[in-house]
Amino acid sequence: MPKITIDNKELEFKPGQTIIQVAKDNGIEIPHFCWHPSLSVSGNCRVCLVEVEKMPKLVIACATIAADGMVVHTQSEKTISARNAVMEFILINHPLDCPICDEAGECKLQDYAYQHSVGESRFTETKQHKDKRVELGPHVMFDGERCISCSRCIRFCDEVAGENQLTFVKRGDKVTIVTFPGKQLDNPYSLNVTDICPVGALTNRDFRFKSRVWDMSSTKTICSGCSRGCNTDMWVRSNEVLRLTPRYNDNVNSYWMCDNGRLNTFKFVNEDSRVNGPHLRRDGKLTKVGWDEVFASAVSELKSFNKDEVAFIGSAYSTLEDNFLFAKFAKSVFGSKNFDFPRVTVPGSGDNILITEDKRPNSLGAELVGMSGNGMNFNQIIKGLIDGKIKALYVVDENLIELNPELEANIAKLDLLIVHASNFNTLTNYANIVFPSATYAEKNGTWINIEGRIQRLKPAVATFEADRSLDGMAMSRLDKFGTEYDRWGKVRKVDARSTWKIIVGLANAFGTKYKYTMAEEVFSDISKSIDEFKDLNYDSIGEFGTQLKFKKQIVKV
Ligand code: SF4
Ligand code: SF4
């Protein structure tokens, strides 16, 4: 392999790599604004200038191909002086409004200004003024004065989203970004430009001004919007989810996520409609009760039916751990063969970038852990419901009425409906028993994406029973009435549990002792009993997931 020396370190590189790529692969940071590892090279910001021995002038590291024997200096006097000069030039017209800028705390310009700036400007003339609040599209706001004309946003739209929506107009220090005439920045991936904009010129209209970034915690998790399983960071303040951003995973989503996943998959976690504690229907009304009471009631109700009158419906929203234990309960504790889960695909809704037609994050996982019994399948259960053969339904994390509004009248006629739900909905309107389901933001567990990659979910939001020192929690205190506060006010927590944990309580009430106390223990049982998961554990799955090797044919939905 050819070798290059960067800052006195001899490094091997692959032919065709640029200096900045070799440096990055070896942990050497060369400052850059316009270069992005997943976009074409533009070479316009000039902040990556480096000194290369035997070259007459400094070169830009993003566009200079590494050569065998090349010697590069990224910290020499000449390099630092050029970098400082470029920074001074870029900052001439910048408004320096960090105190009110959403990007502050995660801004490349701010970071480099600390490292490569003298702290004061020699520019005494009037700065260029440009439009500051331009709605480029439904989700993205543009501030022309903050823009440093790096062109990342233009290249993203052209090269990744495949939509030519943005361009530069005007010249020199008047240059600015606009949408093409008659167009908006409204491609399904538009919000990625707010992540890659190296300054605060492009902001997320849904999130802007909601929080300073340093006031939030972030937890590595997975998007629930479809079976791609994009890796994300979930940002939480005061136990409330405020935004999702994509997390790099070259095997799944690269640096990107879609707008639907980013905007529409977390707000239900914060809503007032959350089911807070177990509920029983009394005198026609759902009434909050204690856990022991709800378990006892569910046991006595379920026992009053013949086994073939009852069906169990799991969900591809639920984790492997949830479905595994729910199926085990249906089969081994209740003794039913009638359990399955709905496959929800929307033909034509996928694309060749990330979005898939399967709108559930764990269809493969539900299949693999045996959420389908060898009795009635999902369609047969629905037919049994319509025919009146199924008299009791136990449904986890799915709203059957939302899936098929025509079922409402049949559901209303059921003798028993037990539902696990995170939020009250049209199905819980008919439930006799509602168990409060923890959302994917509140639990440990695993999902398998459409490619067969098993990935970890981690709790970002604390539920009532969770440890108060959870990652997603800022420092909080209890007042004398037991109400929890942090510096932003009252902390709301919901009394909800993961389905696997609810099933443990229910099985125990049935007289079958399940000893699981953590999701990890359920997973350990999965790995011991199902070949596909052999030798896997939460540590080996890691931050970026593990590709499973399927031993049996799994039907991709
Ligand atoms: S808006 Fe941001 S990403 Fe686009 S050119 Fe300006 S600085 Fe670059
Ligand atoms: S492509 Fe699917 S998994 Fe990825 S962000 Fe969008 S909805 Fe979420």
Q: Which CATH number do you get for residue 36?
A: 3.10.20.740
Number of domains in the chain: 3
Residue 472, pLDDT score: 45
Among 219, 242, 241, residue whose Cα is nearest residue 232: 219
Complete edge-to-edge strand list for the sheet that includes strand 416-421: 285-288, 279-282, 433-436, 416-421, 392-396, 310-313, 339-340
Strands 176-179 and 166-169: antiparallel
Are 493 and 462 within 8 A, CB to CB? yes
CA dist 303 → 261, 284, 308, 333 (Å) = 41, 22, 12, 11
Among candidate residues 208, 134, 228, 236, the one with its CA nearest the CA of residue 177: 134
Is 350 within the bounds of a domain?
Answer: yes
CB 279 within 8 A of CB 290: no
What tens digit of pLDDT does each residue of 207-217 get?
999 999 999 99
Ligand 1 pocket member 177 (CB < 6 A): yes
Does a structural domain hold residue 104?
A: no
* Å from CA of 197 to ligand 1 middle: 5
Judgement on whether residues 436 and 456 belong to the same structural domain of the protein: yes
Asked whether residue 451 falls in the same domain as residue 347, the answer is yes
Is residue 284 domain-shared with residue 316, that is, in the same domain? Answer: yes
Kindly state whether residue 523 falls inside one of the protein's structural domains: yes
Give me the phi and psi of 490, to 5 degrees please: -70, 135
- List CB contacts of 88: < 8 A, sequence separation 6 or more: 117, 118, 121, 122
* CA distances to 32, 151, 237, 508 from 288, in Å: 56, 55, 28, 21
Distance, in Å, from the CA atom of 513 to the CA atom of 504, rounded to the nearest integer, reads: 8
332 assigned to some structural domain = yes
What tokens does 450 get? 């459409």
Kindly report, residue by residue over 122-139, the tens digit of the pLDDT. Answer: 989 999 999 999 999 999
Phi and psi torsions of 492, nearest 5°: -90, 130
Going from the Cα of 152 to the center of ligand 1, the distance in angstroms, rounded, reads 6
How far is 154 from 167, CA to CA, in rounded Å?
Answer: 6
pLDDT number for residue 469: 47
Is residue 274 included in any domain, yes or no?
no
Q: Whose CA is nearest to atom 2 of ligand 2?
A: 226
Q: Is residue 96 assigned to a domain? A: no
Question: Whole-model pTM?
Answer: 0.94
Distances 96 to 72, 214, 379, 516 between C-alpha atoms, Å: 33, 19, 60, 54
Question: 229 with 334, same domain?
Answer: no
pLDDT at 487 (0 to 100):
73
Residues 348 and 443 in one domain: yes
**Are residues 491 and 428 located together in one domain of the fold?**
yes
* Cα of 109 from ligand 1 centre, angstroms: 12
Are 173 and 93 in contact by the 8 Å Cβ rule? The answer is yes
97, 248, 340, 474, 481 from 329: Cα distances, Å: 58, 37, 13, 37, 39
Neighbours of 132 (CB within 10 A): 14
Judge if the beta carbon of residue 457 lies within 6 A of ligand 1.
no
pLDDT < 50 regions, the chain:
467-469, 471-472, 555-557
* Top mutation candidate among 228, 254, 263 for ligand 2, by most atoms within 8 Å of CB: 228
Judge if 362 and 474 occupy the same domain: yes
Which listed ligand is nearest to 450 at the C-alpha?
A: 2
User: pLDDT value at position 71?
Assistant: 98
The mean pLDDT of the chain is 94
- Report whether 414 contacts 420 (CB < 8 A): no
Phi, psi (deg, nearest 5) at residue 428: -65, -20
- Find the domain containing 58 and state its range: 3-91
Find the residues whose C-beta lies inside 6 A of ligand 2.
223, 225-226, 228-230, 253, 257-258, 260-261, 354-355
Contacts of 522-530 with CB under 8 Å at 24 or more apart are 522/321, 522/324, 522/325, 523/320, 523/321, 523/445, 523/446, 525/324, 526/320, 526/321, 526/324, 526/369, 530/368, 530/369, 530/370
> Residue 298 belongs to what H/E stretch?
helix 291-303
Count, in order, helices (H) and strands (E) of the chain: 16, 26
Single residue among 249, 269, 289 that ends a domain in this structure: 269
23 Cα–ligand 1 center, Å = 24
- Per-residue confidence (pLDDT) for residue 491, from 0 to 100: 79
Are 378 and 287 part of one and the same domain? yes
Rounded Cα distance between 411 and 408, Å, is: 5
For ligand 1, the distance from its centroid to the CA atom of residue 478, given in whole angstroms, is 45
Q: Give which of 479, 470, 498 is closest to 238, Cα–Cα.
A: 470
What is the rounded distance in angstroms from the CA atom of residue 175 to the CA atom of residue 194?
19
Integer Cα distance of 75 and 6 in angstroms: 10
SS3 label, residue 154: helix
Answer left, alpha or beta for residue 221, where phi above 0 means left and psi between -120 and 50 means alpha. Answer: beta
- Both 229 and 287 in one domain: the answer is no
Q: Is 56 helix (H, G, I), strand (E, B) or coil?
A: coil
Asked if 48 and 90 touch (Cβ cutoff 8 Å), the reply is: no
CATH number of the domain encompassing residue 400: 3.40.50.740
Output phi, psi for 477, to 5 deg. Answer: -140, 160
Neighbour order of strands in the sheet with 59-60 = 9-12, 3-6, 71-73, 49-52, 59-60
Q: Which CATH number characterizes residue 186's domain?
A: 3.30.70.20
What integer pLDDT is reported at residue 555 of this predicted model?
45
Q: Are residues 187 and 259 in the same domain?
A: yes
Instruction: Give tens-digit pLDDT for 468-508.
Output: 445 445 566 777 677 777 777 777 889 999 999 999 999 99
Q: At 513, is the secondary structure helix, strand, or coil?
A: coil
Tell whether 258 and 302 lie within a shared domain. no
Based on its alpha-carbon atoms, the radius of gyration of the chain, rounded to whole angstroms, reads 27
Q: Is 149 in the pocket of ligand 1 (CB under 6 A)?
A: yes
Residues 176 and 295 in one domain: no
Whether residue 102 lies inside any domain: the answer is no
Ligand 1 atom nearest the C-alpha of 202 is 1
pLDDT for res 479: 72
List all residues 6 or more positions away from 303 whose beta carbon is below 8 Å from its beta carbon.
none
Residue 296 CB partners (closer than 8 Å, separation 6+): 509
- Residue 457 domain-assigned? yes
DSSP type of residue 177: E
